[in-house]
Each structure stands twice: as C-alpha cells, then as structure tokens.
Chain A
Amino acid sequence: MTTTHEQGYRTDLVNMKAGQISREIFVNEEIYQQELERLFARVWLFVGHESQIPRPGDYFVSSMGEESVILCRDRVGKVHVFLNSCRHRGMKVCRYDDGNTPVFTCPYHGWSYGTDGKLVGVPYFREAYHQKLDKAQWGLVEVSQLCLYKGTVWASWDPSAPPFLEYLGDFVHYLDLTLDGWDGSDGGTEILGGIQKWRIPCNWKFPAENFCGDSYHNISHRSVDLVGIGPSGSGRRDMQERLMARRLQVSFYERGHQTGVYLFPKDRPTPPSYQHSPVVSEYFAHCEEERRRKRGEWARLIGSPGEIFPNTALHPRQPRTIAVWHPRGTHQTEVWRWYLVDSGAPPEVKDFLRDYYIRYSGPAGMTEQDDMENWNYAHAASRGTIARRYPYSYEQGLGFEVDNYEWQGLRIPGTVMDITEAKSSEHNLRNLYRRWAEFMEAESWDELAIWRIARAAE
C-alpha cells in the first residue's frame, strides 16, 4: 500500500469521528519510514537521567528513534547529547553501554572527539591533511535542543520545536507525579540499579497506547492478581487508595500527552500501603503525610500510567518507572525501562522496591509478560493481507469527555473522562493517535504548535 499524507492520516487512517483506526499504521513499512522523519526527528524524546552521569566524563549510550546517541557530561560538567556516529565514515564512536572517558574514539580510522563533542584527534592531521582540515566543522552532531528537568534528560533534533516545558504545557504537573519525591519535595529521584532493555516483535505504538491509560486490558493481568505480587501481599498493587478515589483519564489534545490519575475525596486520609514490610509501610505513611502538607489539595491526586507523546511511558506509583518504546523497524520495538526511587529513601526501602519493581515490570516482570504476549500476537495477526483490511475500534466512551473537570473543589487540567462508573474508556488512546496523525500530516511546527495559533487568534 502506498500512503501519503495527501491521502489523509486524519481521515482515512485515523478516523476520530468514527473512532476507528486502520491497521496499516501499525504494519505498513512506508508509514513507518515517514514516522522516523515526521515524528521522531521533530518531537522531544527521553534520553536518560542525570544520576546515570554524575561525574565529568561519564556517559550513557541512549537512543533517539532508531539512532544511537551518547548522553555525556563533559570536563566542565555540562550535559550533552550527541549522535553516536563518526563524522568521517559514520562508525559508532562509543560501543559501550556506559562508562567514563576523556574521549570518544572511532575504531575505524581513529578520529577522536572530546566529551564536549569537539574533534580533537585526526590521524595524520599534519601529513595527510596538511593541517587544512577545519576540525571545528567536524565535531559530533549534537541535538538541537536539550532540557534537564528534575533529573531527567530530554532532547529534540528539531530546532523549531517549542522548548520542552512548552511542549509539555500543563501536563508537567502529571510528569511531576513521577519525578517528585514521595514526600512532595521537588525532584530528588535517582535510577535504581541499571536499566532493562529488551525487544518485542510488535510495532512501537502497541505498547505506547497500552500505557496511555488502557485499563480495559486489566483482565489480561487476572492471573497476576491471583498470584498476589503486590507490596501488601495481594493483587498486583495496593488497591485501597484506588477504590476510594475517582478514576480519571486526562488528555491534552493540543500536545498529545495523556495519563490516568486517581483523585481522592477531600479530607480523607490515604489508606496504608506496602504492608509486607513495616519499615517500608512506615516510610510511605510518613511521606504521604508530608506530601499532603506540602502540596495541599493537589496531593489528592495520585498518578497512574501515562504517556508523554510519542513514546515515553510514565508509571508513577506502583511500580514507579519510565519506559521508552524505541522503534526498531515496523515490526519490532526495543523497550528500555528505568526504575525510580527517592534518592534519600532508606536502603531497606530501595531494596524492597527493587524486588517489587522487577516482580511487576520488565522482561521478567509478571505483569509486563502479559502485556508483551498481547502486543506480540496482536501485531502478528494484524499483518495479514485479509486482517489489515479491517480497522480497529477505538469507540469506547467517544463523546463523553469533558473540559474543566472539577470534583470537590479541585479542578483537573486537561480534557477529562471520569471512568469511575464507566470502568473504562479509550479517550486517552484516541488522543495519542489524533496527535500522531497531526504530526504525520503537518509540514512544520508552525502547524503543530496549535496552542500558539489559538493564542495568536485571541
């Protein structure tokens, strides 16, 4: 199938009016190639966490779209993100996952770069180049924009993309649910151990939509609930706090971000959690008290899975992780999962959480194994000649979302679907694909920064 944006990403392939999406967007090779250019080269992407590169010379090899990048801290402490490709013939200049180095040297012909990206070593510079090569022009390719936010590192290749905080808009308050301390303090998280990386045979959008707030698939995790891997010994999470709250799905139409949240009733204490360990339970009870004191009414909100457009998944609470769905071809996704804890948490708490996190998430995590099984076979079954003629249904709750949602005195930013009674909705999933289609059609950020257009019109 040949697909161009003239044919209508926003009408034929992603039909929001009908709540239907073509399987082509998951399996079509040409669409995938266009995604790399129109999406991954223009958005903001999560690259890593500052706690992974604390010292000058520290580096962590990450990925933006399909391409390898180096996140590093130079000799004077400045953070950079470079394309991991020698300017001479393209070989990777760093082939380790992480480490500390004064230089990145290409093993092919030996060009060498400082941790600030400058070309510092060229074999036979005097003899073969007669000192005429302008080294200043041949440094590593650096991202156009970089943002450090509460320990996390974000980058974009597009100089015309809005700054990261503008890209987030009010969604920053929901990102903070993952990045702020459990006691409500600003930031203060660190990465627990290393990160997990693994590959799944499915298009990257399958896991991306799953983490937008798809709670409809809870039936898939029934077996995990029966096993009882949760931190209090039953289910897979502490559920008491969720059962007393309003369940909301929140979308940002103009930006493509979305998340689930739980909103506690006013003046009700948070139920106890992490009861498998008295030390951990006491720690969280204390943190929760502090959080309520520091954050006031906003502390009535707790996080649930969400997604920063397009491929960074947030899992703010149980477990607390960030995942990136790296595209690796139309039919393959490489998942990288970071686990977060408060850097000041006692060692017993960190140990307890490590065990719980990997019991839940990652390639060996019981819940994530269920998910991978679904994505794997959903993708494979959608590739067939007959199968791809039939769209998927995203009609759940269509038309029932509201702006200016407020409950017991707390207004919730974004467009909200209250699913407390409805149980489930595909509101957030539709938002992901609405924004995806806009990116696939738009020629530039002049069209994509919808909020700027609206502001100018006012």
Chain B
Amino acid sequence: MTDPINVRLLEPGIRVVLEDGATAEIVSNPLDGVWVFGRYLTSPDEPGRVGSEEMIFAQDIVEITEQS
C-alpha cells in the first residue's frame, strides 16, 4: 500500500493519477483535506470526462505524476 497523499499540498498545476487510472490536473484546492478541483486529462473508463472539471475525492488520488 502506498502512503496516503496529503491533498492539502496539491497546488494548481500538479498532475495526479486516480484510482480508476484516469489522470487529472489540479485546478484549485479548497484546503479542506477532502476534495480538490481537477480537470480530467485522460479517462480510460469514461473518455467523455476528458476536459471536464470535477471535484476529486482525496481517497481517489493514488499518485502524483508531475509537480507544478
């Protein structure tokens, strides 16, 4: 099991991998430790989500791929 990611440290521009394999770029962070706002870059399971901005749940983020 990987260490949990502290989502409060995810600044806009950082790219992350989600549990379902999708990737997203952080758009904004309310700093509540639970959610971030991200724009989908890829989404193998749901290609229609690419480009959309959604709230991303902290426990769905499994990896940071690129720092801003």
Q: Which of B28, B57, B59 contacts A121 (CB 8 A)?
A: B57
Distance in angstroms between the alpha carbons of A394 and B58 in the assembled complex: 61
Q: Does B40 contact A (CB under 8 A)?
A: no
Check if B59 sits within 8 Å of A112, measured CB to CB. Answer: no
Q: Which residues of B contact A333 (CB under 8 A)?
A: none
Size category, B interface: 10 to 19
Indicate if the CB atoms of A120 and B55 lie closer than 8 Å. yes
Residues of B within 8 A of A110 (CB): 34-35, 57-58
Residues of A within 8 A of B58 (CB): 110
- The answer to whether A103 and B30 touch across the interface, beta carbons within 8 angstroms, is yes
| Interface membership of A102, Cβ < 8 A | yes
Give the docked Cα–Cα distance between A60 and B25 (Å).
Answer: 31
User: Is there an interface contact between A105 and B57, defined as CB atoms closer than 8 Å?
Assistant: no
Evaluate contact between B28 and A105: CB separation under 8 angstroms: no
- A61 CB to closest chain B CB, in angstroms? 15
Interchain CB contact under 8 A, A124 and B30: no
Q: How far is the CA of A110 from the CA of B59 in the complex (A)?
A: 10
Please encode chain B, from 41 to 68, with 1 for each CB lying within 8 Å of some chain A CB and 0 for all others: 0000000000000010111000000000
Map CB proximity to A onto B17-40 as digits: 1 under 8 Å, 0 otherwise: 000000000001010111101000
Q: Which residue of A101, A102, A105, A124 contacts B34 across the interface (Cβ within 8 Å)?
A: A105
Within the complex, which residue of B35, B57, B59 is in contact with A103, where a contact is CB–CB below 8 Å?
B35
Judge whether A124 and B32 touch: CB under 8 Å: no
Can you name the residue of chain B whose Cβ is closest to the Cβ of A123?
Answer: B57
Query: Taking CB as reference atom, which chain B residue is nearest A94?
Result: B32
Q: A110-B35, A112-B35, A121-B35 are in contact. Are A101 and B57 (CB under 8 A)?
A: no
Further 13 A-B residue pairs, CB within 8 A, beyond A121-B34, A123-B57: A101-B30, A102-B28, A103-B30, A103-B55, A105-B30, A105-B32, A107-B34, A110-B35, A110-B58, A112-B32, A112-B55, A121-B35, A121-B57
Q: 10 closest pairs, A vs B, by CB?
A: A105-B32, A121-B55, A105-B34, A110-B34, A123-B57, A102-B30, A103-B30, A121-B35, A112-B35, A101-B30
Could you show 13 A-B contacts with beta carbons less than 8 Å apart?
Answer: A101-B30, A105-B32, A105-B34, A105-B35, A110-B35, A112-B32, A112-B34, A112-B35, A112-B55, A121-B34, A123-B57, A123-B59, A124-B57
